[in-house]
Amino acid sequence: MKMSNHYKNTEKHHVAVDNIIFGFDGNRLMLLVVKRQIEPCKGEWSLMGGFVGKNESLDEAAARVVKITTGLEDVFMEQFFTYGEVDRDTEARTISVAYYTLIRVEHHDHALGQQHGARWFPLENLPHLIFDHNQMVKDALQVLAVKTRNQPVGFELLPEKFTIPQLRALYEAITGKPLDPGNFSKKLHNMKLLTRLDEKDKSQSKKGAFYYRFDKIRYEELQKEGLLFELK
Amino acid sequence: MKMSNHYKNTEKHHVAVDNIIFGFDGNRLMLLVVKRQIEPCKGEWSLMGGFVGKNESLDEAAARVVKITTGLEDVFMEQFFTYGEVDRDTEARTISVAYYTLIRVEHHDHALGQQHGARWFPLENLPHLIFDHNQMVKDALQVLAVKTRNQPVGFELLPEKFTIPQLRALYEAITGKPLDPGNFSKKLHNMKLLTRLDEKDKSQSKKGAFYYRFDKIRYEELQKEGLLFELK
DNA sequence: ACAAAAGTGTTGTGCGTACACCCATGC
DNA sequence: GCATGGGTGTACGCACAACACTTTTGT
């Protein structure tokens, strides 16, 4: 353990991570929020978050809070902004590094969730959240919407097997705008990131929509070639 | 002053801001770095940064460090990532919120800069910087390059009056790729964001290139209409 | 006259959009 | 057989890339 410290006279701050955890129920984009377990604002709705530990990186802290409520590891997660207004936390100055996370709702451990007062809300019908958490959600959604335009984000939110109309519904939920079914379908096929299965979902139509799987291998190949991130 | 504090048993951390300050000398993209004035690594090259004060927001801290070395206020500045690996600072755990800033080199107060050991380096010829600062520069440049594709960033780096070839050189420096002079020129005119002056710069060619001014009013109009940020 | 850079014109191509139309099937 | 959503085909336009070509003027 190091003894001398040239920074010892400089201010220290509470640092938290807050995680905007998105899910998708097939129609609507959902958000996982929790009943806050500590004062202040104990019992109010809040994003899932936590203080950054002494020997824990930011990414580790963000992953930790996801695991606590959902039981999931290795999920898609991205830091997007750090909130540092002096008075954002009513108790004491806290700087919060915000992440958003995309998970499959059905993978999530509901028992564990309930234990921690977690609950899914549809995005368009969120309760009031503490501090600046509602703003964080808005910002996260916007970042997600921008990403969507250039990158095939969103597969993380769907089941292993999904239909193109399901994927379209997800994109409509993210961007808030209707998409042309035909064009969407063709675009996806052009990307060649999906593998069609010999099975149809007939719950939505008589004809039925083919199930697909996301072709991760091909995705990684394309990324290596830099084709996806490149807007040309 | 609040006495009770429910967070009092939670860890606190040093929090810094580091600012990637870009400038442009007409040909090359430049970076402002300083000789570090505190231990550890005193005397080594470093990004301009500082610890976040007790009653100071992150944005305020980032603006403060810009002003210290350049004398400038109200510059274009954007937070882009927070670095929180446990060992990134060799002295003590420090979480750093990184910003990038675009300034006009000629506006910058050189005397003030020298006083603080500041110096401009061309981006392609940077010295070794402390900690993860070289990585920060890389990341900042990539963010800037992505932004460039959808938004007319970069005017902040040029003088009031500039020629289209100058602007093109800047974009080439940011993206690292050559651009077609003719197409670039036409594209800019189509945007209608520039006002042509009755004056030419003949230093680069016999024919001379017209000077332009950035039409901020028109820019703000377009932004309001959401035309610029929209990739459609 | 010539060189050299600024800038315009011309054409091809690929992609997104709009939308008509065909397909499969349960009722 | 008809309604319903899934999916294909087609036509148009725009934005961009490629590049030939004109303009300007110092030497």
| pLDDT at residue B15, rounded to an integer | 98
Task: Report residue A196's pLDDT band, with 50, 70 and 90 as the boundaries.
Answer: very high
Q: A146 CB contacts (<8 Å, ≥6 apart)? A: none
**Residue A229 above 90 pLDDT?**
no
pLDDT digits over A100-122, tens only?
Answer: 999 998 878 787 878 888 999 99
DSSP code per residue over chain A:
-----TTTTS--BEEEEEEEEEEE-SSSEEEEEEE--SSSSTTSEEEEEEEPPTT--HHHHHHHHHHHHH---S-EEEEEEEE--TTSSSSS-EEEEEEEEE--GGGS-HHHHHHTTEEEEEGGGPPP-STTHHHHHHHHHHHHHHHHHHS-TTGGGS-SSEEHHHHHHHHHHHHSS---HHHHHHHHHHHT-EEEEEEEE-SS-SS-EEEEEE-HHHHHHHHHTTTTT---
**Residue A153 above 90 pLDDT?**
no
| pLDDT at residue B107, rounded to an integer | 77
| pLDDT at residue B113, rounded to an integer | 77
| pLDDT at residue B229, rounded to an integer | 47
**Which residue approaches D21 most closely, CA to C1'?**
B182
| pLDDT at residue B226, rounded to an integer | 56
What is d(CA A139, CA A98) in angstroms, rounded to the nearest whole number?
Answer: 10
Residue B45 in contact with residue B34, Cβ under 8 Å? yes
The closest nt to A206, taking CA to C1', is: C25
| pLDDT at residue B232, rounded to an integer | 36
Judge if the beta carbon of A169 is closer than 7 A to nucleic acid strand D: no
| pLDDT at residue A179, rounded to an integer | 94
B122 touching A, CB under 8 A? no
Please provide residue B30's backbone torsions phi and psi, each rounded to the nearest 5 degrees: -120, 160
User: How is residue A56 written in tokens?
Assistant: 């824990």
Residue B135 in contact with residue B143, Cβ under 8 Å? no
Coil, helix or strand for B20? strand
Task: Report residue A208's pLDDT band, with 50, 70 and 90 as the boundaries.
Answer: very high
> Shortest CA distance to A189 belongs to which of A230, A152, A220, A147?
A152
| pLDDT at residue A68, rounded to an integer | 93
Residue A117 in contact with residue A37, Cβ under 8 Å? yes
Coil, helix or strand for B23? strand
| Interatomic separation, CA of residue A185 and C1' of nucleotide D7, rounded (Å) | 8
| CB-CB neighbors (< 8 A) of A81 in chain B | 79
| pLDDT at residue B209, rounded to an integer | 94
DSSP code per residue over A60-76:
HHHHHHHHHHH---S-E
Chain D nucleotides covered by protein, CB below 7 Å: 3-9, 16-20, 23-26
**Residue A218 above 80 pLDDT?**
yes
B177 touching A, CB under 8 A? no
> Shortest CA distance to A61 belongs to which of B13, B35, B111, B139?
B13
**Which residue approaches C24 most closely, CA to C1'?**
A207
**Residue A26 above 70 pLDDT?**
yes
pLDDT digits over B2-48, tens only?
Answer: 545 888 889 999 999 999 999 998 889 999 999 998 878 889 999 99
The closest nt to A208, taking CA to C1', is: D6
Q: Which residue has the higher pLDDT, B38 or A138?
A: A138
Please provide residue A156's backbone torsions phi and psi, each rounded to the nearest 5 degrees: -65, -20
What is the percent of chain A with per-residue pLDDT over 90, rounded to a whole number? 69
- Answer whether B12 sits within 8 Å of A10, measured CB to CB: no
The closest nt to B182, taking CA to C1', is: C7
Q: Which residue has the higher pLDDT, A8 or A183?
A: A183
Q: Which residues of chain B have a pLDDT value below 50?
A: 3, 229-232
pLDDT digits over A53-76, tens only?
Answer: 999 999 999 999 999 999 999 999
A125 touching B, CB under 8 A? no
| pLDDT at residue B74, rounded to an integer | 92
| pLDDT at residue A230, rounded to an integer | 44
Of A40, A58, A86, the CB nearest to B57: A86
| pLDDT at residue A92, rounded to an integer | 94
Q: What is the pTM of this model?
A: 0.93
Residue A157 in contact with residue A170, Cβ under 8 Å? yes
What is d(CA B2, CA B15) in angstroms, rounded to the nearest whole number?
Answer: 22
| pLDDT at residue B108, rounded to an integer | 80
Task: Report residue A231's pLDDT band, with 50, 70 and 90 as the boundaries.
Answer: very low
| CB-CB neighbors (< 8 A) of A54 in chain B | 11, 93
What is d(CA B38, CA A20) in angstroms, rounded to the nearest whole number?
Answer: 38
